[in-house]
A and B are shown apart, each in its own frame.
Chain A
């Protein structure tokens, strides 16, 4: 079966750095997405990785290792507004998106 694993919840301090991990087992791979979802709102796109390595976009970076079936989202200089759920999703060989259950990130002052 297809599976995406990510921690259910994480807590971090304002101004710090946090890394949210995602491991996957899917039938084929055509890219991995990270989405941010604030409570009561729709998910919004953060990043897309299809090649191994680190993609940096401002305070957010996303890393992919296809051989390990592993990705992480790195958030730097955390702000209170970063409190949200972070969803990992993999595009499989049929170009279907397989979604993780999301990681709820709680930022404390």
Chain B
């Protein structure tokens, strides 16, 4: 298993600003992902964080809005840029190190954009 720490756990941000969320895994993992979860809804994959190279983004998400870094196997950041109230959501870091694809999740970062 893997323990994933995310920070900040929550934040209230002003429209037009940017916020970076950090994700630290306690062991080396092969895959790291960033998800978004609107209240009462399921998980939406934003991107796969690739070590040492550009992240792989899902349809509807772009690098300019959600730049992602992954400098090593245990750490990644997600930035939510030029925020608007529509970006208010929970952002979850997850990681997988097993062949079965089992995911472990961080506790999430709850962002509120005013």
Binding site for B on A (CB under 8 A): 30-31, 33, 35, 40-45, 48, 50, 87, 91, 95-97, 99-102, 104
Residues of A within 8 A of B87 (CB): none
Report whether B106 and A100 are in contact in the complex, using a CB–CB cutoff of 8 Å. Answer: no
On chain B, the number of residues with a Cβ less than 8 Å from chain A's Cβ atoms is 17
CB distance from A92 to the nearest CB of B (A): 10
CB distance from B50 to the nearest CB of A (A): 15
CB distance from A85 to the nearest CB of B (A): 9
Report whether A42 and B102 are in contact in the complex, using a CB–CB cutoff of 8 Å. Answer: no
Assess A97 versus B101: contact at CB under 8 Å? Given A42-B92, A43-B43, A102-B42.
yes
**Chain B interface, DSSP helix/strand/loop, else mixed:** loop
Binding site for A on B (CB under 8 A): 40-45, 92, 100-108, 110
Report whether A87 and B102 are in contact in the complex, using a CB–CB cutoff of 8 Å. Answer: no
Among A50, A95, A99, the one with the most B-chain Cβ atoms within 10 Å of its Cβ is A99
Report whether B103 and A48 are in contact in the complex, using a CB–CB cutoff of 8 Å. Answer: no
The distance in angstroms between the C-alpha atoms of A104 and B107, with both chains bound, is: 19
CB distance from B59 to the nearest CB of A (A): 12
CB distance from A98 to the nearest CB of B (A): 9
Q: Other than A31-B100, A42-B107, A99-B42, give 20 A-B pairs with Cβ distance below 8 A.
A: A31-B101, A33-B103, A35-B103, A41-B107, A42-B105, A42-B106, A42-B108, A45-B102, A45-B104, A48-B100, A50-B100, A91-B101, A95-B101, A96-B45, A97-B45, A97-B101, A99-B43, A101-B41, A102-B41, A104-B40
